[in-house]
Amino acid sequence: MLRFFKGTGPDVISFIAVLLGAVWTSAFLDPQMPGQAIFETSPMPLYGIIKSIIGIHPLSGVIFTFLILVFMLFLLINFNTIVFFINERTLLPAVFYLLFIAVFPGMQVLNPVLPAALFLLLALIRIMNAYQKPGIAFNFFDAALLISTGSLFYANLIWFGLLVIIGIVLLRTGSMQETAVGLLGLTVPYILTIGLYYVLGKDIGAFLTDIRDNLFTGSAGYTFQRLTFIVLIYLGFIIIISIGYLIMRMNSKKIKSRKTFYLLIWSFLISLILFMVLSSVSVELIWIAGIPASYFLAHYFVFVRKKLFPEIIFTGLMLLVLLLQLLAII
């Protein structure tokens, strides 16, 4: 199975489409309304607009999320095509991202985290486009603007603005002008939003309260099934192996590839820290943490020399996730 997914032909693309349909079958057969997380009860402005458009139609929410996911999968593959940091043409990042998000069937509903994750991925692409760019790279302003805009869907994305500063340190040796430009990019969407609220006569105080609640108020917890817990342990084991393998091979990579992976490692670490520190963050962060983790696993399974062990753990992951989805249907 792993040998098949390492390919890049039309047959692999077709099978990914089949896999996508398989892991979203439960969402379409029994569409659910979003839960009672803080980002649902006190939505950020852009997510509030989407909720008002879709209304109380859960199937419409699932369709909307599904379409964004399809675009997300395309961008995951395209990022490696543009920067070529894995050093191999592969569709595996899309496969692993599908498997990650399928671990929580209850999260396959309308939510603000996937649109925010899409903005984060676009920001990562924009940061890496600043590599060896002469003069002041306004890529960091664009990246900060994208992250800040994404936080108007899911407020906790704003913490990933740290990646702009990290990107400047990695790629530009800490330029003060670009740091100032990046910080400006983080503030512009909020300045514009407050200005729009003022013009429309909306309650700015309520907006600021929503920001505070989304960032620091405890969110509804997630009830883990025993199988879900087992799959998460299994996933954690594979991710640790893949990161260790990546670190061992880091010095053999080209400079741009190394810096891209360092940026992805930082984004993964920020995700873990937010999950452990903030009570407002829960399992919905899988949509964001799955981005760097997908690349770590893709790199490992593309280059690992052993044949039997990677095949077994890949097939095991696929079967466990499909079993989770099957239990969600029945």
Tell me 222's DSSP state: -
- How far apart are alpha carbons 14 and 29 in whole angstroms? 22
Range of the domain at 27: 2-329
> Could you give the CA distance from residue 281 to residue 219 in angstroms, rounded to a whole number?
7
- Mean pLDDT (whole number) for 254-272: 97
CB atoms within 10 A of CB 133: 12
The 10s digit of each residue's pLDDT in 192-207 is 999 999 999 999 999 9
**Residues 34/37/42/44 CA torsion (nearest 10 deg):** -80
Question: d(Cα 174, Cα 141) in Å, to the nearest integer?
Answer: 14
Q: How confident is the model at residue 174 (pLDDT cuts 50, 70, 90)?
A: low
pLDDT at position 297 over 80: yes
Per residue in 92-113, pLDDT (tens digit) is 999 999 999 999 988 899 999 9
pTM: 0.96
Q: Which of 20-29, 68-77, 219-228 has the least mean pLDDT?
A: 219-228
Q: Which of 115, 145, 111, 160 is nearest to 282 (CA)?
A: 111
Average pLDDT, the chain: 93
Beta strands in the chain (DSSP E): none
Question: Would the pLDDT of 74 be above 90?
Answer: yes
Number of compact structural domains in the chain: 1
C-alpha pair distances (Å), 102 with each of 71, 164, 166, 310: 17, 29, 30, 20
Q: Quick count: other Cβ atoms within 10 Å of Cβ 252?
A: 9
Is the pLDDT assigned to residue 182 strictly greater than 70?
yes
Dihedral of the CA atoms 71, 17, 81, 144 (nearest 10)?
A: 20
